[in-house]
Structure 1
Amino acid sequence: MDAKIISLFTHSKDVFFVMDMDGAIRYTNQAFLDTFNYSPADLEGLNIESICHPADKERKDENMGALLRDKKLTGYQSRIKAKDGCYFSMIWSLVLDDDGFIYSAGNVLTGMICNESHDIVEHTIKSLNEGFAVLDSNWTVIGFNPAFEAMANLEHAELQKTNFMQIKDLGINNKVEAEFSHSLTNNCTTQVQFLNTYSNTWLRINVYPYKNRLAVFIRDITEIKMQEWVLKLEKDVLELNASTQNTLAQNTAELLKGIENIFPEMLCSVLEVDDNDKLITLAAPRLPKPYCDSIEELPIGPNAGSCGTAAFHRKQIIVSDIENDPLWINYKHLAKPYGLKACWSTPVISSKGAKVLATFAIYYTTPREPNELELGIIARTVNILRVLIESKRTEENIMEQNHRLQTIANISSHELRRPVATIMGLVNLFDNEDLLNPLNKEIMTHLDTTSQELDGVIHSIVERTVYIKASGTDN
């Protein structure tokens, strides 16, 4: 390249670089380095495609054809990744020389945004559900949107010029502040998740440095974290259930303990419905035992508290105020001594829909109704309970059938052989030449007795076989 041209582009404020036909970068000016924050060493041997946005590849292939045909191309737009991972939208003018080198001069599109576009960006930021704030190098809040104002729980005038790290409702700890310092010092984006101990919520903060300032996006991810924990709990309980070492009651208790750890205000129970339509406690880790004893074997019915009614009507029953709900008129005196104020119960119905297996109940010590998150957790828990109960019942049924099959095998090998052997022996003793032989009469008597015995053994086998077939059609 001519020395004068090199000097011109070196001092130009436009972003400029030269690449060969394979996309290998051969030369860049200072504006390129400053805009994307690369050093000459970073770009050595680098291909332009490695810092272009993947979504621009199809457009690039199309425009290369036009460049080869016309030897020049103007108005070509692409996104280039800076060293910190952020993308800049660029508009380029390209020229292809006879030696196969492509000269590219460009400008950052954001520097050309009109006032109307600025209004759109400002409106979008204000409309975000996520909190957004701009901080200077001393963590002073110099800009924010309404969502951030709500998170901070401060008046607009109070929030201006406030130190971000000292906003009480955000619960910022030393680890989070260290991440902010690292982002600002190293000019790199970062993300941090932490428990806000002030409000007992989980927050996720994304930090983007720009010209010694930080753009900060904050999102409450409590629900996301809880869903992750519930998913892990379900996985752990199902793995536990796959082992035959634990009983159904033990596995159910582990599930309920996990839910109560995620939602500390919940008091959970599972009541099985027996063959007499009575409720039997399967698991209730944190409910007072005297209360559980007081409702043991209560019959289901149309007005039998939350669980009895849910099982009777085969639908979810939400009682937000035990003291004043007609379903609890005959049972509220049982709950009152233990401060139980609300009870939501959902039936666990068999997969074939034939019967109610159990009820899953959640108690609270304050009157309240479930929110969307809690309703979702209830539905997931009911599905897991169905799997636990049916798999254990299937397992028990298989064990029972195996026992009966073993019994049939024992009958076949011992009790059945004996009368058959007796009959065969008696037949051999029968005197066919002298039918009036007194011994024949005695043999016939023994044959009759033995055949009746054989009939009884066969009948016993048939009965057990019928039971095995019938037990496979339950639920």
Structure 2
Amino acid sequence: MDAKLSFLLDKSNDFFCVMDRKGIIKRTNASFRKAIGYSEAEITGKPISVISHSADIRRHDELLKTLLHKKEVSDYESRLKAIDGIYYNIKWSLVYDSNIDLVYASGINLTNKLNGTDKSLSDSIQHIIQSFNEGFFIIDANWQITAFNPAFQAITGLKTKQLKKINFKELHSLGITDKIMKEFENAFNGNISSQFQYLNNYTKRWLRVNVYPYKNEVMIFVRDITSMKIQQLILALEKNILELNASALYSFPQTINELLKGIEEIYPEMICSVLEADDANERLYHLAAPRLHKEYCDAINGTDIGPKAGSCGTSAYHRSQVIVSNVETDPLWDDFRDIIRPFGLKACWSTPIISANNYKVLATFAVYYTTTREPKPDELQMIERTSNILRVLMENKKNQDHIIDQNKRLQEIATISSHEIRRPVATILGLVNLFDHDYINNSMNKEILAHLDSTAKELDSVIHTIVEKTIFLNSGS
């Protein structure tokens, strides 16, 4: 950095920070360091996330992606946590220099007051509210938002000037339905505190809301509980699927189909599929796909497992997860692009279901999207959990099939023992009774000996068959 520019920035009261594209701090100015209480050596080389409010970290990741694309972002507000625990609310302007792959960020300190015009809150209370992970806002008797903290702003995705004095009923980004609005109105009109949760269909996030009426205002806390809610829904789904699997009401493909339908209800943008591998691990065959077009399922049914066989065939071949964010450009889809294109599917992530004992591929679990995209951490966690339960279900199915096959073979052995052995043994016993012990060399004795020889060979063949079937059972095949 130019020495004169560096000098001016160090003398500035504004915050200044230089980061790489991953948010790793390369340089800060004196105002930045003085406010947060870290020395240059302590803060340099650390990710910006370590001094960010936890509610802002996900937004930082999205910001950096936007910045790499647009090169400039202004009026971005976030909070920094000082070494003493105090939070500073900063409005940032950021520029990305692609030539040197660095981000320049200049920030104005907005901290002192909670956003809004409410004068009744003390400075200490304002600071506490400002540091909350939960969103907080106040509504007056006319449903105007009079004050809010940065966490609420992060939940709405709106800028400060957009939120100030906005009518709550016009705040579309909270996804307020008539049913949810009734909850607010009951609390307001009845002066009754309440708690409820709902799915914000605008952002596809679960929110938990606590409403506290006070005089002619309502104080509201909003928490994003998406992660917790999804875990609860997945646990309930897994419990239901295990119960279905233990009953005789559903066939195995139907059980897998119900599992995928449940996942698609939790993650509405996902389109799920399971392809089962044949015993030779050479081909994949359709098992379940509730929302995929039948024509597409038929087209890929029996697809080869190979190093360049779309997402599923490739993941089965390499025995590892394959993430294709854009099927139009990824070379793995060169041979399948014309097949998938008519159905509007843009991304496909595939995970192999591998046997716990012998590292054999049992199936592949695929997630399709109608937009080009990469998975988020919570989606990867869901995929891993689903892969594990699929492994349990499929190995259980194979064990059941193996037990059925063993029982069938045991029945065959019992049939052979009761019928096939009894016949030659009875013949031998009958021939022995006909043997003339007084005249050893008569012609009938010779015929009896010949019959005994052939019957003994027949018995030996039956015993050999039993031994083979027993060996097969002992091998665990």
Question: Quick check: TM above 0.5?
Answer: yes
Deviations 1:405-443, CA, capped at 9 Å, x for gaps: 111111111111111111122222222233223222111
Determine the C-alpha separation between the residues in 1 that align with 2:456 and 2:132. 88
Deviations 1:329-352, CA, capped at 9 Å, x for gaps: 222222122222111100000121
2:325 aligned with 1:350, yes or no? no
**Aligned pairs, number:** 356
**1:34-49 equivalence runs, <5 A:** none
SS of alignment partner, residue 148 of structure 1: helix
SS of alignment partner, residue 230 of structure 1: helix
2:262 aligned with 1:261, yes or no? no
**1:250-329 equivalence runs, <5 A:** 250-276=254-280, 277-329=282-334
Correspondence for 2:393 among 388, 393, 409 = 388
CA-CA distance at 1:138 after TM superposition = 4.5
Query: Contact 1:131/1:147 (CA < 8 Å) preserved in 2?
Result: yes
CA-CA distance at 1:328 after TM superposition = 1.5
Say which is worse superposed, 231-240 or 144-153, in terms of deviation: 144-153
With over 3 angstroms needed to count, the CA separation of the structure-2 counterparts of 1:153 and 1:340, relative to structure 1, is: closer
Determine the C-alpha separation between the residues in 1 that align with 2:397 and 2:267. 27
SS of alignment partner, residue 304 of structure 2: coil
Letter paired with 2:338: H
1:201 aligns with 205
SS of alignment partner, residue 149 of structure 1: helix
With over 3 angstroms needed to count, the CA separation of the structure-2 counterparts of 1:455 and 1:303, relative to structure 1, is: same
Determine the C-alpha separation between the residues in 2 that align with 1:259 and 1:215. 35
From the CA coordinates, give the structure whose radius of gyration is larger.
1
Query: Contact 1:252/1:283 (CA < 8 Å) preserved in 2?
Result: yes
Correspondence for 1:123 among 108, 127, 130 = 127
With over 3 angstroms needed to count, the CA separation of the structure-2 counterparts of 1:278 and 1:410, relative to structure 1, is: same
Letter paired with 1:444: L
Correspondence for 2:447 among 442, 447, 450 = 442
Determine the C-alpha separation between the residues in 2 that align with 1:119 and 1:164. 25
CA-CA distance at 1:396 after TM superposition = 1.3
2:424 aligned with 1:419, yes or no? yes
2:36 aligns with none
1:335 aligns with 340
Determine the C-alpha separation between the residues in 2 that align with 1:468 and 1:119. 78
**1:62-461 equivalence runs, <5 A:** 119=123, 121-183=125-187, 188-210=192-214, 213-276=217-280, 277-461=282-466
CA-CA distance at 1:370 after TM superposition = 0.7
With over 3 angstroms needed to count, the CA separation of the structure-2 counterparts of 1:154 and 1:251, relative to structure 1, is: closer
Determine the C-alpha separation between the residues in 2 that align with 1:228 and 1:439. 85
CA-CA distance at 1:263 after TM superposition = 2.2
Determine the C-alpha separation between the residues in 1 that align with 2:251 and 2:450. 54
Determine the C-alpha separation between the residues in 2 that align with 1:128 and 1:289. 49
Query: Contact 2:155/2:224 (CA < 8 Å) preserved in 1?
Result: no
TM-score, normalised relative to structure 1: 0.69
Determine the C-alpha separation between the residues in 1 that align with 2:350 and 2:240. 24
Query: Contact 2:311/2:323 (CA < 8 Å) preserved in 1?
Result: yes
Letter paired with 1:404: R
Determine the C-alpha separation between the residues in 2 that align with 1:464 and 1:125. 75
Query: Contact 1:256/1:269 (CA < 8 Å) preserved in 2?
Result: yes
Letter paired with 1:440: N
CA-CA distance at 1:288 after TM superposition = 2.1
SS of alignment partner, residue 166 of structure 2: coil
Letter paired with 2:307: P
Determine the C-alpha separation between the residues in 2 that align with 1:440 and 1:283. 69
Q: Which 5+ residue runs of structure 1 have no aligned equivalent?
A: 1-116
Deviations 1:157-212, CA, capped at 9 Å, x for gaps: 44334343442222334444444455456665321112334444332101234455
SS of alignment partner, residue 315 of structure 1: coil
With over 3 angstroms needed to count, the CA separation of the structure-2 counterparts of 1:182 and 1:341, relative to structure 1, is: closer
SS of alignment partner, residue 348 of structure 1: strand
With over 3 angstroms needed to count, the CA separation of the structure-2 counterparts of 1:175 and 1:331, relative to structure 1, is: closer
Letter paired with 1:455: D
Letter paired with 1:430: F
1:50 aligns with none
With over 3 angstroms needed to count, the CA separation of the structure-2 counterparts of 1:397 and 1:219, relative to structure 1, is: same
Say which is worse superposed, 167-176 or 127-136, in terms of deviation: 167-176
With over 3 angstroms needed to count, the CA separation of the structure-2 counterparts of 1:330 and 1:380, relative to structure 1, is: same
Letter paired with 1:341: K
Determine the C-alpha separation between the residues in 1 that align with 2:346 and 2:188. 51
Q: Which 5+ residue runs of structure 2 have no aligned equivalent?
A: 1-120
With over 3 angstroms needed to count, the CA separation of the structure-2 counterparts of 1:391 and 1:323, relative to structure 1, is: same
SS of alignment partner, residue 218 of structure 2: strand
Query: Contact 1:166/1:172 (CA < 8 Å) preserved in 2?
Result: no
Letter paired with 2:247: S
Determine the C-alpha separation between the residues in 1 that align with 2:419 and 2:445. 27
With over 3 angstroms needed to count, the CA separation of the structure-2 counterparts of 1:437 and 1:407, relative to structure 1, is: same
CA-CA distance at 1:142 after TM superposition = 2.8
TM-score, normalised relative to structure 2: 0.69
How many percent identity over aligned positions?
Answer: 56
SS of alignment partner, residue 268 of structure 1: strand
Query: Contact 1:360/1:382 (CA < 8 Å) preserved in 2?
Result: yes
Determine the C-alpha separation between the residues in 1 that align with 2:305 and 2:339. 16
With over 3 angstroms needed to count, the CA separation of the structure-2 counterparts of 1:337 and 1:168, relative to structure 1, is: closer
